[in-house]
Every structure is written in C-alpha cells, then in structure tokens.
Amino acid sequence: MLQSFFTALYQALLGNPDPSSLIPVYRQSIFPGVGLTTFFVALGMALLFYVVLNRVVTTSFFKTQHWAIMLLLTAVLGAIVAWQQAAAAVEAQLAETGEELAVAQVSTLKRYLWGFTATNTLVAVLFFILCSFAVKSLSVSARTTPVRWPN
C-alpha cells in the first residue's frame, strides 16, 4: 500500500527510475523509505513550531516569517534525506550485485538522483503545509500562523 502510494507519487513527477535495473530498489526501498521519513520530518517540524515553541514554551517565534523559516528548513531536510537515503541504497545495491554502470548510465543515475532530491523537496513542503494545518489548533500562540483558517 505504502509502496504503491509513494511509487505513484514520485513516478508521477519523475517517471520510471533510470537506469531501469535499479527500479526494484527505488520502488521497494527508496520511495517508501524516503517518503515516510520526509513525512515524519515534516510532522516533527510542525509539532516543533506549533506545540513546542508556541505552547510548551512561549517564544517570540510565532510569526508567518518564522513559519516560513520552518518550511524552508523542512524543504532542506527533505532534500538531504532524499539524496542520502537514495544514494546509500543505490550504492548498496550496486555493491551487492556488482553491476558496472556505463558512463552514460552514471550520468542518468545522477540526473535521476538530483530529480528525486528536487521532487522530495517539494514533497517535504507539501507535507509540512498539510501537517501545519493538522496541528495548528494544538498551539496557543501560533494558532493563526500562517493564516487564521480553520481556527
């Protein structure tokens, strides 16, 4: 379920993984692994902003620009998670099978990895926004950041 959801999500934006011999690694480990991690990072950042910084403790870090900083940070973390996990999984797979990639394949691999990193940055932003709206009602001082709705 998770596998097909994340495969559909990423492939809708990226197309099939390239080189195609790595398709099983992407679909079985990279897409669901990175997708889930990104979701929990986004959720964690939203909770940090709305609950920790603006309920458990009271800080002056509650404005929309602060929220935007958290959004940016989540995006960066999403990019890092994507690159690191994907590169490590691809690396492990290549070492395990002993597959030799041709020069052209190495460049398509790089291109796909960068594409995946960029896509996951967007996914992280999306998840953070969704999580923000899910948890903002738990906050005390940031209930109306970035917008009043739905409170």
Partner 1 sequence: MASTSKRHLSFWACGLALLLSACDVPGEKRAASKAAATTAATPKTEETTNKTTGLRQLNVFVDISGGMQGFVRANRPGDPGSEFQRTVTALLSDVQGRTTQGTTAGYYFVKENPVVQPTSYAELSQTISRGIENPAAGTEMPDMLREVLKLQTQKPGTVSIIVSDFIYGPKDPTQTWRVRTDVKDALSTANPAELAVSVFANTSEFRGNFYPGNRTKRQTLTGTKLPYYVWVLGPAPLVAQVNQQLMGRLDQQPQVHFNAKYEAPTYGVVTGYQGKGEWYAEPGPQGGKATGVSFTSLSAKEPAQFVVGFDLKHLPLAAQKSFSVSQLRLEPGNTDAKLVKTWAAAGGPPVPAAGRAYTHFTQISVSKLPSTASRQKPQTLRLALAPTAPTWASTYSTSNDSNIAGQGPKTFLLTEVLAGVAESFGGQSATGPVLFDVPVALRRD
x/- mask, partner 1, residues 24-53, rule CB under 8 A, reads: x-----------------------------
The residue from 20, 58, 64, 144 that contacts partner 1 (CB under 8 A) is 20
The residue from 36, 57, 69, 122 that contacts partner 1 (CB under 8 A) is 69
The residue from 4, 8, 13, 110 that contacts partner 1 (CB under 8 A) is 110
| Burial call 29-46: b when 16+ CB within 10 Å, e when fewer | bbbbbbbebbbebbbebb
Per the omega criterion (within 30 degrees of 0), is the bond before 146 cis? Answer: yes
User: Which distant-in-sequence residues (6+ apart) come within 8 Å of 40 by Cβ?
Assistant: none
- Both tokens of residue 1? 């379920």
The residue from 41, 43, 113, 123 that contacts partner 1 (CB under 8 A) is 113
SS3 category, 58: coil
CB of 149 to partner 1, least distance (A): 26
- Both tokens of residue 51? 């609950």
Separation between Cα atoms, residue 9 and residue 120, nearest integer Å: 10
- Our finding on whether 1 is near partner 1 (CB under 8 A) is no
- Our finding on whether 111 is near partner 1 (CB under 8 A) is no
Give the binding site for partner 1 (CB under 8 A). 16, 20-24, 59-61, 66, 69, 73, 76-77, 79-80, 83-84, 87, 90-91, 94-101, 105-106, 109-110, 113
